[in-house]
């Protein structure tokens, strides 16, 4: 029996939509006739997730008792007995309750795969064993449920479910991830923008390595030797001589011009006595490579050009950087070897850059390594130079905004030969001062007092380290380096506070402008209603005049009522009091309800929808509110004789509703209350709304919604839900 296939939906954090994506894939396969069951599903009380599971067969869980408490776990035997084509198993890294056949859920999944059952599952990046420590450093939360990387790497398919930190935090605020009583704590701790950005980068980098493994395996299986330029990889050859610093910096500049490129430094350990590099020089150059964002590797090889080219081809390198020097020309006379020339001649598809080095002082050391020991003064000068270079690099990183504390601590750790380094900060909480790890590097970094090295850097921050205790001079330099790291940390925190204050100020200004504009519009409508009622009271000439005045008063009062409703809905939305129920919705019926809500003004709207337009996944009531608000806003802006035009088309797996008008721009980029309400409601549904300028003038507001056929297959709407949506009225509207 063929082993089943494993598909993993990978996410950077809870709430990005892994389970929702897994259920969407299940609904698509079910619609194609595949036998799909839910072996285990965790909705965590999320309504959108539960709605996506409607119509899928669910295998009942197994109830277990452990230490007097009752738990439910996947009934592995029941799933095996049911033997579907595909089983959905949520949360792959989960630890089973004691008493289950297997201690971990991934072992249950292995049994299903061995039985020939395909499995679709979910996983958060912080649960991978190799990234557990890194995730703890980022979030401050230790994950006790971990998954061996080898299990994830064996998956046939891994799909990243990605979401920006801002979008995930908005989803949190709208109550789509956690209940209201947990939102504030989550946003200020685990779900901080910095944490989410770092976790997202971890997920992207891990998955990129997985894709790279697949590419290398494919090239090896098909005997492809030439590099495929899927991304730029720059290999810089390090000889271990003084002039190599210039070569490294040159290679770093080449890599910096191509975002996303990799920089890999390599040193070949040769048996040739003329080419043995001093260990201290190599360590200094290793630190420099790491400081500019690269990696450093040492490989053995008697034929240096061949070893370099073999390494470059194995890494799928696209460019190589080598140094040319007087020493190189001198060795060519002695040994007949010109490394850059031989590499360039054999490089084939790899571009080779040869960088000049001024290292005339290294001619004699090439023949006599013993002359390197030139006395204590030279060693002291070299030491001072290395210390100055290290401090300069740290300060430059801070000033350029690249002062990532863990990376800087890693450089310090390597520079001083320490095992692990931490920045500890004293903070006050309800029970008094507590010690927090701000950043760390190395294995098992100190988490509190008692480390081998404890160096107070400020009133609240201490640098703690494990490993050999530096001497007095080294301790002085270590303190200077720690000061630079703390300065970078303070700089980043200040930037975050300023950015948050700027966002808050902008939001307050936007709300103030919105309220002012809304108040002015309400006053205008009330004045119009007052004028019409006054004219009625004074007595109109004819019944037609009275009818016109009464209609005008009613329109003005309706406008004020709509403004009050919009303000109320906007306040409820921001307070998290708006609930959503997603299901397949007929867009024609929603548009009909919108036109009815708009009243007589809707007669001037031109409506055109594509043939066979699929249903959309939405909350029918909220979608009607959104489109009604946008249409009212477009009618308000549109000049006489140029009514709004509404079109609806299907694009890929989504449906786009476009509302075009020829109205003028809002002053100073302001938005109306109707548009603001529609935009925020759309975000609450997890959909997209944006506005764009038309080439000939006017605006185009686009609402993008998921198509039901792509999202839930044959999911049937709950009977009676569409009873409140009347059919499309007759009139000037057109369908085409």
Which structure tokens are listed for 236? 């810089």
Q: Is the sign of the CA dihedral 212, 216, 217, 219 positive or negative? A: positive
Task: Return the higher-pLDDT residue of 503 and 663.
Answer: 663
Query: Do 27 and 146 lie in a common domain?
Result: yes
Say if residues 86 and 36 touch (Cβ distance below 8 Å). Answer: yes
* Residues 234 and 261 sit within 8 Å (Cβ to Cβ): yes
Residues 81, 45, single domain; the answer is: yes
260-272 per-position pLDDT tens digit: 678 999 998 875 4
- pLDDT grade for 77, boundaries at 50, 70 and 90: very high
CA dihedral 103, 104, 105, 110 (to 10 degrees): -90
Give the 3-state secondary structure of residue 634: helix
Give pLDDT, residue 61. 93
Identify the pLDDT of residue 92.
94
Instruction: Give the pLDDT score at 256.
Output: 79
Per-residue pLDDT averaged across 129-155, rounded? 83
- Report the mean per-residue pLDDT for the chain: 78
Least confident segment among 42-46, 157-161, 378-382, 503-507? 378-382
Query: Is the residue at 185 inside a domain?
Result: yes
pLDDT at 708 over 90: no
Tell whether 100 and 183 lie within a shared domain. yes
Query: Structural domain of residue 518, as residue ranges?
Result: 513-571
Is residue 382 domain-resident? no
Long-range contacts of 173-182 (CB under 8 A, 24+ apart): 173/576, 174/576, 174/578, 174/683, 174/684, 175/576, 176/15, 176/46, 176/48, 176/684, 176/686, 177/14, 177/15, 177/46, 178/15, 179/45, 180/576
Final residue of a structural domain among 318, 345, 369? 369
Say whether pLDDT at 508 is over 90. no
Higher model confidence: residue 734 or residue 422? Answer: 422
Do the Cβ atoms of 127 and 198 come closer than 8 Å? Answer: no
Dist. CA 445–CA 422, nearest whole Å: 6
The answer to whether residues 210 and 114 belong to one domain is: yes
Judgement on whether residues 304 and 190 belong to the same structural domain of the protein? no
> Does residue 403 form part of some domain?
no
* H or E element in which residue 422 lies: strand 420-429
Same domain, 615 and 546: no
Is-contact 411 290, C-beta < 8 A?
Answer: yes
Poorest-confidence range of 277-281, 464-468, 622-626?
A: 277-281
Residue 254 lies in a domain: yes
pLDDT digits (tens, 9 = 90+) for 370-425: 334 334 745 455 555 555 555 555 555 555 444 577 878 887 888 788 899 999 98
Let me know whether 167 and 307 are in one domain: no
Residue 732 has pLDDT above 70, yes or no: no
Complete DSSP assignment for 426-477: EEEETTEEEEEEEEEEESS---SS--SEEEE-SSSEEEEEESSPP-HHHHHH
Radius of gyration of the chain (CA): 33
Report for 125-134, 207-216, 268-277, 644-653: range of highest mean pLDDT:
644-653
With respect to residue 663, please indicate whether it lies within any of the assigned structural domains.
yes
Query: Which among 253-257, 324-328, 575-579 has the top mean pLDDT?
Result: 253-257
Higher pLDDT, 322 or 611: 322
Domain presence at residue 72: yes
pLDDT at 33: 94
pLDDT at res. 163: 86
Indicate which CATH number applies to the domain containing 198: 3.40.50.300
Check residue 8 and give its pLDDT.
95
Q: Quick one: pLDDT band at residue 212, thresholds 50, 70, 90? A: low
Q: Are residues 565 and 656 in the same domain?
A: no
Instruction: Name the residue with tokens 């989504």.
Output: 654
- The verdict on 523 and 636 lying in the same domain is no
Q: Can you give the CATH number for the domain in which 673 is found?
A: 3.30.565.10
Whether residues 75 and 169 fall in one domain: yes
Q: Which of 84, 79, 44 is nearest to 62 (CA)?
A: 79
Specify the length of the chain in residues.
736
pLDDT at 721 over 60: no
Does residue 53 register a pLDDT over 70?
yes
The per-residue pLDDT for 375 is 45
pLDDT at 365: 44
In which band, very low, low, confident or very high, does the pLDDT at 431 lie, cut at 50, 70 and 90?
A: low
From 369, 397, 419, the end of a domain falls on: 369
Evaluate the CA torsion angle 432, 437, 443, 448 in order and state its sign. Answer: negative
Q: Residue 713: its pLDDT value, please?
A: 38
CB 404 within 8 A of CB 438: no
Task: Give domain status of residue 429, yes or no.
Answer: no
* pLDDT score for 79: 96
pTM score of the predicted model:
0.38
Report the number of distinct structural domains present in the chain: 4
From the list 536, 571, 570, the residue with the least C-alpha distance to 556 is 536
Q: Tell me whether residue 645 is in a domain.
A: yes
Q: 89, 65, 71: which is closest to 79 by C-alpha? A: 89
| Other beta carbons within 10 Å of 464 | 23
pLDDT in tens, 524-539: 777 877 887 887 777 7
> Same domain, yes or no, for 83 and 209?
yes
Most confident of 212-216, 225-229, 251-255, 569-573: 251-255
pLDDT value of residue 260 = 67
User: In the prediction, which pLDDT does 388 show?
Assistant: 59
The residue-averaged pLDDT of 643-670 equals: 82
Does the pLDDT at position 575 exceed 80? no
- CATH number of the CATH domain containing 260: 3.40.50.620
In this structure, are 248 and 275 located in the same domain?
Answer: yes
Domain boundary among the residues 546, 571, 596 is at 571
The secondary structure of residue 364, as a DSSP letter, is G
């Amino acid at each position: 029996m063929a082993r089943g296939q494993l598909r993993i939906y990978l996410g950077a954090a809870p709430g990005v939509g892994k389970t929702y994506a897994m259920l969407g894939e299940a609904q698509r396969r079910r619609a194609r006739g595949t036998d799909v069951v839910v072996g285990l599903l965790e909705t965590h009380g999320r309504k959108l997730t539960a709605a996506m599971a409607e119509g899928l067969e669910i295998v009942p869980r197994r109830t277990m008792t452990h230490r007097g408490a009752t738990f439910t776990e996947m009934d592995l035997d029941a799933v095996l007995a049911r033997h579907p084509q595909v089983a959905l198993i949520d949360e792959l890294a989960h630890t089973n309750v004691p008493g289950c056949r297997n201690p971990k859920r991934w072992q249950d999944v292995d049994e299903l795969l061995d039985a020939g059952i395909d499995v679709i599952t979910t996983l958060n990046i912080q649960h991978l064993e190799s990234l557990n420590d890194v995730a703890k450093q980022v979030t401050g939360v230790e994950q006790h449920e971990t998954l061996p990387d080898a299990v994830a790497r064996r998956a046939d398919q891994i799909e990243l479910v990605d979401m920006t930190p801002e979008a995930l935090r908005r989803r949190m605020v709208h109550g789509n991830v956690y209940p209201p009583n947990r939102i504030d704590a989550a946003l200020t701790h685990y779900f901080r923008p910095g944490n989410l950005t770092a976790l997202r980068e971890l997920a992207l980098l891990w998955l990129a390595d997985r894709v790279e493994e697949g590419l290398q395996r494919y090239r090896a299986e098909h005997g492809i030797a030439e590099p495929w330029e899927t991304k730029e990889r720059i290999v810089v050859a390090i000889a271990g001589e003084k002039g190599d610093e210039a070569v490294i910096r040159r290679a770093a500049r080449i890599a910096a011009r191509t975002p996303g490129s990799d920089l890999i430094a390599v040193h070949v350990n040769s048996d040739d006595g003329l080419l043995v590099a001093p260990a201290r020089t190599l360590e200094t150059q290793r630190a420099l490579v790491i400081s500019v964002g690269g990696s450093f590797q040492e490989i053995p090889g008697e034929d240096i050009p061949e070893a370099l080219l073999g390494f470059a081809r194995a890494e799928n390198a696209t460019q190589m950087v080598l140094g040319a020097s007087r020493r190189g020309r001198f060795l060519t006379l002695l040994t007949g070897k010109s490394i850059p020339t031989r590499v360039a001649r054999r490089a084939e598809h790899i571009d080779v850059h040869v960088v000049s080095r001024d290292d005339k002082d290294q001619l004699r050391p090439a023949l006599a390594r013993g002359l390197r020991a030139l006395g204590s003064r030279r060693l002291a000068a070299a030491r001072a130079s290395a210390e100055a270079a290290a401090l300069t690099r740290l300060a430059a990183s801070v000033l350029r905004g690249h002062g990532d504390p863990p990376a800087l601590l890693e450089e310090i750790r390597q520079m001083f030969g320490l095992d692990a380094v931490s920045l500890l900060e004293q903070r006050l909480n309800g029970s008094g001062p507590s010690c927090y790890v701000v950043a760390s590097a190395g294995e098992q970094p100190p988490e509190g007092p008692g480390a081998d090295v404890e160096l107070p850097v400020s009133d609240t921050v201490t640098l703690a380290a494990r490993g050999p205790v530096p001497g007095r001079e080294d301790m002085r330099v270590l303190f200077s380096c720690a000061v630079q790291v703390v300065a970078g940390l303070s700089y980043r925190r200040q930037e975050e506070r300023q950015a948050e204050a700027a966002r808050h100020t902008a939001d307050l200004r936007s709300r103030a402008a919105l309220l002012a504009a809304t108040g002015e519009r309400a006053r205008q409508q009330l004045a119009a209603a007052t004028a019409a009622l006054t004219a009625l009271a004074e007595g109109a000439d004819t019944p037609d005049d009275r009818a016109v005045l009464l209609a005008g008063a009613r329109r003005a009062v309706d406008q004020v009522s709509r403004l009050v409703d919009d303000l109320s809905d906007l306040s409820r939305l921001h307070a998290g009091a708006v609930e959503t129920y997603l299901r397949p919705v007929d867009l024609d019926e929603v548009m009909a309800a919108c036109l009815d809500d708009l009243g007589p003004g809707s007669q001037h709207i031109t409506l055109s929808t594509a043939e066979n337009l699929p249903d959309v996944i939405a909350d029918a009531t909220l979608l009607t509110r959104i489109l009604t608000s946008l249409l009212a806003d477009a009618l308000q802006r549109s000049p006489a004789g140029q009514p709004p035009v509404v079109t609806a088309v299907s694009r890929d797996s989504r449906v786009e509703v476009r509302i075009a008008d020829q109205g003028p721009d809002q002053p100073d980029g302001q938005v109306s209350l109707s548009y603001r309400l529609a935009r925020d409601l759309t975000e609450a549904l997890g959909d997209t709304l944006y506005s764009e300028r038309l080439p000939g003038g006017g605006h185009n507001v686009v609402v993008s919604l998921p198509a039901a056929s792509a999202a839930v297959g044959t999911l049937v709407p709950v009977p009676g839900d569409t009873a409140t949506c009347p059919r499309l009225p007759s009139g000037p509207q057109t369908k085409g």
